[in-house]
């Protein structure tokens, strides 16, 4: 005879299975290709690969579209410096084209503010760009702030950032100039939010023009 407790137990199992199925169904197949770079509200979407303050080097794989730990000499790579000065990530559906001196990767972005979870997709405002060369290739870093829920959310421009939070640009410049060791990165200064937006639009256009050449899982 079937008891009430048994029925409740089965119903709980079915409910858990339903939740698991829903989560699996909603899993992002590719952070590069399956997320729009511009949100419904018109803001930029950023994928967080490395939470602020941490040293483990994660990145979105161009082959699988998933966030994986970078491997160096057969071991998980760690940044041999103080932790990242902001949440580090990428902008989906962008490409820093080698034809214009880029490294062929999606645009990098540093999102200032409180630590965010690896793999989270957040809406940001672009407020500037750090211009740099890595092994002779353009490797610029967009600078963004979260639209909401951050102490930096009121910042709308690069000038506002410098005026309201003195020293942050110095921290970013010093960190990126040294995190790979001495004399490996060349810093070419900063530019403002208008230039950052222009770089984003160009990279998104290059992605659309070369989408068939970009690896998909």
Instruction: Judge whether residue 26 has pLDDT over 80.
Output: no
Mean pLDDT of the region 86-96: 96
Distance CA 24, CA 36 (A): 20
Is the residue at 110 inside a domain? yes
pLDDT at res. 211: 77
Q: Which of 31-40, 81-90, 97-106, 123-132 has the lowest mean pLDDT?
A: 97-106
Burial profile 72-107: b = 16 or more Cβ within 10 angstroms, e = fewer = eeeeeeebeeebbbbbbbbbbbbbbbeeeebbebbb
Is the residue at 161 inside a domain? yes
Instruction: Judge whether residue 18 has pLDDT over 90.
Output: no
- Greatest mean pLDDT among 74-78, 121-125, 183-187 lies in 121-125
Is the residue at 3 inside a domain? no
Q: Which of 38-52, 98-112, 144-158 has the lowest mean pLDDT?
A: 98-112
Is the residue at 42 inside a domain? yes
Position 22 confidence tier, pLDDT thresholds 50, 70, 90: very low
**How does pLDDT run across 41-75, given as a tens digit for each residue?**
999 999 999 999 999 999 999 899 999 999 988 99
- Quick count: other Cβ atoms within 10 Å of Cβ 165? 14
The total number of structural domains in the chain stands at 1
The CATH number given to whatever domain includes residue 88 is: 3.90.80.10
Instruction: Judge whether residue 2 has pLDDT over 70.
Output: no
The helix or strand, by DSSP H or E, that contains position 196, with its residue range, turns out to be helix 193-209
Instruction: Judge whether residue 1 has pLDDT over 60.
Output: no
**Residue 130 lies in domain:** 29-209
Is the residue at 109 inside a domain? yes
Distance CA 148, CA 146 (A): 5
């Amino acid at each position: 005879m079937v008891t009430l407790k048994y029925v409740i137990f089965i119903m709980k199992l079915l409910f858990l299975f339903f939740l698991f199925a829903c989560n699996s169904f909603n899993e992002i197949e590719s952070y590069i290709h399956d997320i729009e770079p511009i949100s419904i509200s018109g803001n930029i979407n950023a994928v967080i690969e490395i939470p602020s303050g941490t040293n483990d080097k994660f990145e979105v794989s161009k082959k699988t579209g998933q966030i994986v730990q970078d491997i160096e000499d057969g071991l998980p790579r760690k940044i041999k410096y103080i932790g990242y000065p902001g949440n580090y990530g990428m902008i989906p559906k962008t490409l820093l084209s080698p034809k214009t001196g880029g490294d062929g990767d999606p645009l990098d972005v540093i999102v200032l503010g409180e630590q965010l979870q690896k793999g989270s997709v957040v809406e940001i405002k672009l407020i500037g760009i750090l211009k740099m060369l890595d092994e002779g290739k353009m490797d610029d870093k967009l600078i963004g702030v979260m639209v909401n829920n951050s102490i930096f959310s009121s910042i709308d421009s690069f000038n506002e950032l410098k005026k309201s939070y003195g020293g942050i640009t110095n921290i970013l410049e010093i960190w990126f100039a040294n995190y790979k060791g001495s004399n490996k990165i060349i810093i070419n200064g900063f530019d403002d939010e208008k230039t950052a937006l222009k770089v984003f639009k160009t990279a998104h256009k290059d992605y659309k023009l070369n989408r068939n050449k970009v690896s998909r899982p």
